[in-house]
């Protein structure tokens, strides 16, 4: 499903990022290292699921017809999802989840700030709500990176390994295609490419403080925005969509 409406496609992208990352976080429920962190991770997961709903509702409204937030979340297949690959990677160990979250939050905070300035009033409103959440998410994940990086030898190693694995996916955060370029020119979409250097500074500063090394490898794995995903997304969707697939239209 590829809606013709450019703003709807953009909103679906942002909704996909939020839904898939939120789902990955929700996988920690009852598996987090201790009770307080379990609840805290759940809160962040719910922030993202809530954000996904707002983007999907807006997209569904623009697409019209039978389209709803639920049909966008539950009845599209892998190739129709347009989330960043970074968001769909399996949760890994706690260090991996924290490092992914930190890299994403350092991106999401300026992104939502910029989105709140969109000339599209609905996207601006979603951005304004999301930026408050992102500010807290960033504070939390940054804090954890400092604790783990500058913690024990094991936590340091796990963090560094996670960063090294994640790094190759970070270039995609700042990729723009013709859809985004067109919307940026109209003042609707966020010019993510312009955020890259600030993001890099933020990340480098925190990693240095955490005694971690900024990975030096390539950052050229892309594909999520055009529906080319890792195998892992299929398994994620199988779980996320099972109920609606097995019992279409089910409500409770």
Partner 1 sequence: MANQMQLYEVFVRSRRGLDHKHVGSLHADDPAQALEYARDVYTRRGEGVSIWVVASRDITASQESDCESFYDPLDDKPYRHAAMYDLPEGVDSL
- Given the complex with partner 1, which of 35 and 246 has the nearer CB atom? 35
Q: Which stretch binds partner 1 (CB under 8 A): 13-21, 32-40, 59-67, 105-113?
A: 32-40
- Given the complex with partner 1, which of 143 and 231 has the nearer CB atom? 143
- How many residues comprise the chain? 252
Residues numbered 122-141 forming contacts with partner 1, rule: CB under 8 A: 136, 139-140
- Given the complex with partner 1, which of 34 and 247 has the nearer CB atom? 34
Least distance to partner 1, CB of residue 149, Å: 14
Angle formed at CA 79 by CA 78 and CA 81, multiple of 5 degrees = 70
CB neighbour list of residue 196: distance below 8 Å, 6 or more residues apart: 173, 174
How far apart, in Å, are the Cα atoms of 6 and each of 47, 179, 181?
25, 7, 11
Is residue 40 a contact point for partner 1 (CB under 8 A)? yes
Is residue 143 a contact point for partner 1 (CB under 8 A)? yes
Q: Which of 158, 179, 212, 152 is closest to 13 using CA atoms?
A: 179
Task: Tell which one of 36, 66, 153, 218 touches partner 1 (CB under 8 A).
Answer: 36
3-state helix, strand, coil in the chain (%, to 5): 70, 0, 30
Residues numbered 44-103 forming contacts with partner 1, rule: CB under 8 A: none
Task: Tell which one of 76, 129, 135, 147 touches partner 1 (CB under 8 A).
Answer: 147
Is residue 35 a contact point for partner 1 (CB under 8 A)? yes
CA 219 distance to own-chain centroid: 17
- CA pair distance 57, 229, nearest whole angstrom: 24
Residues in touch with partner 1 (CB under 8 A): 33-37, 39-40, 43, 136, 139-140, 143, 147
């Amino acid at each position: 499903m590829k809606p013709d409406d450019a703003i709807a496609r953009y909103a679906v992208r942002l909704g996909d990022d939020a839904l898939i990352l939120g789902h990955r976080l929700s996988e920690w429920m009852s598996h987090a290292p201790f009770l307080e962190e379990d609840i805290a991770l759940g809160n962040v997961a719910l922030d993202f699921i809530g954000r996904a709903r707002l983007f999907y509702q807006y997209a569904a409204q623009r697409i019209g017809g039978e389209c709803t937030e639920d049909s966008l979340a539950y009845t599209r297949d892998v190739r129709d999802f347009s989330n960043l690959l970074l968001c769909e990677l399996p949760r890994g160990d706690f260090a991996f989840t924290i490092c992914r979250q930190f890299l994403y939050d350092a991106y999401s905070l300026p992104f939502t700030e910029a989105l709140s300035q969109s000339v599209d009033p609905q996207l601006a409103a979603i951005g304004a709500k999301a930026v408050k959440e992102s500010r807290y998410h960033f504070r939390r994940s940054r804090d954890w990176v400092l604790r783990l990086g500058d913690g024990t030898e094991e936590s340091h190693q796990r963090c560094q390994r996670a960063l090294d694995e994640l790094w190759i996916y970070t270039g995609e955060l700042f990729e723009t295609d013709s859809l985004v370029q067109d919307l940026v020119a109209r003042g609707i979409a966020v010019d993510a490419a312009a955020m890259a250097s600030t993001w890099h500074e933020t990340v480098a500063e925190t990693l240095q403080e955490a005694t971690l090394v900024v990975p030096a490898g390539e950052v050229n794995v892309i594909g999520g925005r055009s529906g080319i995903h890792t195998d892992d997304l299929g398994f994620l969707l199988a779980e996320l969509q099972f109920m609606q697939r097995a019992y279409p239209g089910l409500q409770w």
